[in-house]
A and B are shown apart, each in its own frame.
Chain A
Amino acid sequence: MAITEDRPLAITAGSGAGVRSPLGSFTRPNSTTGWKSWLTSVDHKRIGIMYGVGAMFFFIVGGIEALLIRTQLAVPDGKLLSHGAYNQVFTMHGITMVFLVVMPMAAAFANYLIPLQIGARDVAFPRLNAFSFWCWLFGALFVNSSWFLGGGADCGWFCYSPNSNPIYSPSNGVDFYAIGLQIAGIASLVSAVNLVTTVLNLRAPGMTLMRMPVFMWMMFVTQLLLLFAMPVIAVALFMLTFDRLYDANFFDTAAGADPLLWEHLFWIFGHPEVYIMILPSFGIVSEVIPVFSRKPIFGYPFMVFSGIAIGFMGWGVWAHHMFASGLGPISVAAFSVSTMFIAVPTGVKILNWLATMWGGKLRMTTAMLFAIGLVSMFTIGGLSGVTHAVAPSDTQQTDTYYIVAHFHYVLFGGALLGLFSGMYFWWPKIFGYFLSEKIGKLHFWLTLIGFNLTFGPMHVLGLQGMSRRVPTYSPGYGFEFWNMVSTIGAFTIALSLLVFFWNISASRKASKNLPNPGPDPWDARSLEWSIPSPTPEHNFDTVPEVKEFDDWWHRKYGEDPDGNIVRIAHPEDIAQTGDAHPHLPSPSYWPIVISAGLPFIGYGVIFSLWWAVLGGLLVIGGMYGWGLEPSTDVDEPIDPDDHGHDGVALEAGDEGDVLAELGSGDGTGETGETGETEEAIPVG
C-alpha cells in the first residue's frame, strides 16, 4: 500500500537537525497568502476548511445525482434516464454522499477542532495531514472522472459480486470505484493515524482524557474505527481490482469462489463506517446542546462510554446487512441480538441530550435547531433500524424503499443535520462572522420539511413493496402519490441548500459593517472559544492549563456564597489575544505532489501503464522531496517538523516560551522566560 511506501522517508524527514537544504533546490515554500499558500499549507485549520469546501462541492454533485433519481421516479414509466444510466446515477450518488460528503465534512471538523479543543498548536504530523486532504481530493476526482471515461460504477455503493464482475459490469466504472475508494481510503487511514496520535499525545497540560469535550471523544472513537475498518475494505478493493484487471478468482463463482466473501469483507468495514459517519455528528450536538441550554452535558461519563460502546459493538453487527443472504439461523439470531443491543448506547445518548435540555435555559439558535433536528430525526431512523434487527421483518424489508428511508433518516437526518448544526455553531470561530440567524432558520425549516417529505413517504413505499434501485415503475401499484411527494421533497432540500449558500454570501457581505463576533459569541464551554475569532494561525498564544471539564466555562463562571452561578470574568478579558508569534511548521510542496501521482497510477492500471509511470515518478519524486526537504525554512532557527523530539503543541519552544509556561504551574499571570509578547492571563 502506498501509505507504507512513504514511511521510510517520512520517518527520517527532519531527523537531521542542523542539516539544511542538502540539495539546494529542495527548499520549503514560504508564501502565506494567495492560492499557492493553500496548496502548500500544512495548517490544520486551512486543511479543515479545504475539506469543508471540497465536501460542499461534492454535496452539490451528489445532490444533482439525487435530483436525477427523484425526477426519474416522480411519475410512473419515467424516461429521463436509461436503465443503465440510472444504475450509474444511484451508485455514484451513494459513493459520493458517503465517501465524498459526510466523511470529509466530518474530517473538516476533526481537522479544524481537534487541536483547538485539546489545546494544541497543530496535529501530530502536519505534512501527513496535508497529504490526507490532497489524497482524498484526488481520489474523489478520480472516481468522478469515470463519468467522462466510459461511465460510472453501476453496481450499487456496496458493489456486491457477481454484479461487480466484468460480465455484469463491463465498463470501467467498477475499476474507478475500486481504485478511487482505495486512494480515498489511504487518505482516511493516514488521517486516522495522525489524529489518534494527536489526541493521545498532544493534549494540553491538565487535559486528561476524561476532561476532553464529548466531541473530542466521539472524534477519537471515529478515528479508531477508521483505523481498523479501512484496511479491511482496502483488502476487499484490492481483490476486486485483481479480479477485474488481472483475472484473479476471488469472486469468480465459476471457479468455486464464495459470493459471500465480498459481502462479509464489505460490511465488516461497512458497519463501522455507519458509525464513522454518525459519531462526529453526535459529538457536534453534544457541544451545541449544552451551550444553548446553558447546562453542562448531562451524564458526561455515560456519553463517553456509550460512544466507546458503540465503537466496540459496531464491529459485531455487520451481518445484519446480510440477513437475506442465507447465513443460517444461528448467525442470524446472534446478529439480530447484537443489533438490538447496539441500540442501547445510542438510546443512552438521546436520553442524555434530552436531559441536558431539560430545565435548561434554551436559546433556539439555528445551530440548536439543527441539533434538535438531529435528535428527533435520528430517533426515527434509529427506531426503523431496530425493526431491521428483527430478522423476519428485515427479510421483508430488505432491498425495499423502507431500507432507503431508514438509512437516509440516520445519515441525512442524523449525520448531515449534525454537520449543519456544527457549521452554524463554529462559523464565527472559523471565519470571523456570524451566519444570519434569520436566513439560517429558513434554511433549517426548509431542510427539515424537505427531508421529511422526501424520505418519510419511502417508509410507506417500501412497505407497499416498491423495490430499492428500480429504475422506474408501472402505474397501478399505488406508488404514484408518494413518489411524487418524495420528489417534491427532494427539490425542497435542493432549495434549502441554495438558501444556505445565499446565507453564506449575504452574511459575508453584511459582516463587513459588523464588529468582530469576539472570542466567545455563544458563551460556550470548550477551549476553542478562549482564542480570537477567526482563529489565529498559531491557535494559542500560550498553551492553556486545564483544571477541569468545561474549563473555559469555569473560568467565566463561579459560585457565590449562596451557591448561585455568577459570572466572574468576561470572555473578552480572559481570552487570549492572538498576537504571539510562535514558530509553526513550514509549508511543504510534497504532500500535493505525492497525492497527485496516485490517480495517474490508477489510470495506468486501468488504461495504459505509461500513465502509471508518470504517476510513479510523481509519487517517488514526491517522497524523495518529502524526505530531503529541509526540515524548515532556511531562515528559521529551529527544526519544527521534528516531531520525534517534541510535540507540535510544544513547538513554539524555540523561544523557550511554551515550555517555560508548561513549567509555570497554575497558569496565573504567565509570562514566558523569554516570551516575546505574552499577555498576562489571569485565570479564575
Chain B
Amino acid sequence: MADLASRVGEGLDEVGDALTHDDGHDNHGHDAHGHDDHPPTNTGLSNDKLGMWVFLGSECLLFGALISTFLLYKGRHAGLVNDGTLEGRAAIGPEDVFDIPFTSLSSFVLLMSSLTMVLAVSAVQRGDDQRLRVWLATTATLGSLFIAGQVYEFTSFVREGLGFTTNIFSSAFYTLTGFHGVHVTIGIIMLVSMIVMSISGRVNKENAEAVEIVGLYWHFVDVVWIFVFTIVYLIP
C-alpha cells in the first residue's frame, strides 16, 4: 500500500514535469538570459496567468453559491400569495417581466464579444497594435451594450413592479445578475486600460500575455452568463 501511494505520488510528479516541459516553450522571449532549457516557473505558466486561473477557480464557487440561492428561491414568489400570506404585489415573478427575445439578443452580443476578444489576443501576438486596439475597443463596446441592455432590463422590471425588495425571487434575481453585471463592468475597465496602455506603448507584442489574461477573465464572465441565462431565463 505504501508502495502504491508513493508510486501515485511519483505519477503526480511526472504530470508536473510533463506540464513543465510541454509548456516550457510558451515562455518565448521571457527568458532574457537564453536558458531555454529551464522554464522560469515550474508549471511553465507565468505567475500572472496561473494566478488568474486560480482566481477564476474561486469565482466558480462565488457564482455557484449565487446560482444555488437563485434556484432555491425561483418560483417561491407565487405559492405564498395563494396562502394569503403576502399582498398581491409580491406575486410578480419571471413570467410577468422577462422579455426572452430581448435578453437573447443581449446575450448574443456578449457572446460575440468573446470572438472579438480572441481576435484582439491574436492581433497582439502578431504584433499588430492597430488591430489590437480596434478589437479591444469592439469587445469593450459589445460588453457595454450588454450592460446597457441589463440597465434597460432592470429599469423596466422595476417599472413593472419587480423591485429588489419585492420578494425573495427578486432579491435573488437582482443579486445574481447584478454580480455578473459588475464582473462584466470590471472586464470593460480592464479592456479600456489595455487600450490606453497599448496607445502609451506599455502593451505590445512583448507582453502580449497581459491581453491574454484579460481575455481569460472575459471568456470566464461570458461562460458564466451562458449558465446564468440558461438557468434564470430559459429553464421555466
Contacts and interface: CB of A to CB of B under 8 A. Distances in A.
A559 to B, nearest CB: 20
B37 interface: yes
Contacts of B73: 250, 257-258
Interface string B187-225: 001100110010011110011011001100100000000
A7 B168 contact: no
B175 A124 contact: no
Contact of A196 (B33, B54, B72, B189): B54
Nearest to A124: B47
A626 to B, nearest CB: 12
B171 A248 contact: yes
A252 B168 contact: yes
Interface of A is mostly: helix
Interface residues of A, number: 76
B58 A192 contact: yes
B210 A232 contact: no
A255 B197 contact: no
B50 A200 contact: yes
B39 to A, nearest CB: 9
Contact of B61 (A11, A197, A232, A254): A232
B130 to A, nearest CB: 19
Contacts of B207: 15-16, 644-645
Interface stretch (B6-14, B102-110, B145-153, B226-234): B6-14
A229 B72 CA distance: 20
A220 to B, nearest CB: 12
Contacts of A209: 9, 12-13, 16
A12 interface: yes
A261 B72 CA distance: 8
Interface in B176-194: 182-183, 186, 189-190, 193-194
A304 interface: yes
B160 interface: no
B72 A19 contact: no
B163 to A, nearest CB: 9
B218 to A, nearest CB: 11
Given A250-B168, A250-B171, A302-B5, A194 B38 contact: no
B195 to A, nearest CB: 11
Interface stretch (A81-89, A238-246, A391-399): A238-246
A609 interface: no
Nearest to A128: B51
Identify which of A197, A229, A265, A300 gathers the most chain B CB atoms within 10 Å of its CB.
A197
Nearest to A243: B171
Contact of B168 (A3, A231, A255, A265): A255
Interface in A187-241: 189, 192-194, 196-197, 200-203, 205, 208-210, 227-232, 234-236, 238-239
Given A11-B48, A256-B80, A663-B37, A644 B209 contact: yes
B168 A256 contact: yes
A662 B35 CA distance: 9
B164 interface: yes
Q: List the 7 shortest-distance A-B pairs measured between CB atoms, nearest first.
A: A16-B202, A231-B62, A8-B190, A235-B65, A301-B5, A646-B40, A210-B9
5 contacts: A15-B210, A193-B51, A202-B47, A248-B171, A647-B41
Interface of A: 1, 3-5, 7-9, 11-12, 15-17, 19, 22, 124-125, 189, 192-194, 196-197, 200-203, 205, 208-210, 227-232, 234-236, 238-239, 242, 246-250, 252, 254-258, 261, 265, 268, 299-302, 304-305, 627, 643-648, 650, 653, 656, 659-660, 662-663
Interface of B: 2, 5-6, 8-10, 12-13, 16-17, 30-33, 35, 37-38, 40-43, 45-52, 54-55, 57-59, 61-62, 64-66, 69, 72-73, 76-77, 79-80, 85-86, 90, 164-165, 167-168, 170-172, 175, 182-183, 186, 189-190, 193-194, 197, 200-203, 206-207, 209-210, 213-214, 217
Given A192-B54, A200-B50, A247-B164, 7 more contacts: A12-B210, A210-B6, A236-B65, A239-B175, A255-B167, A256-B79, A268-B65
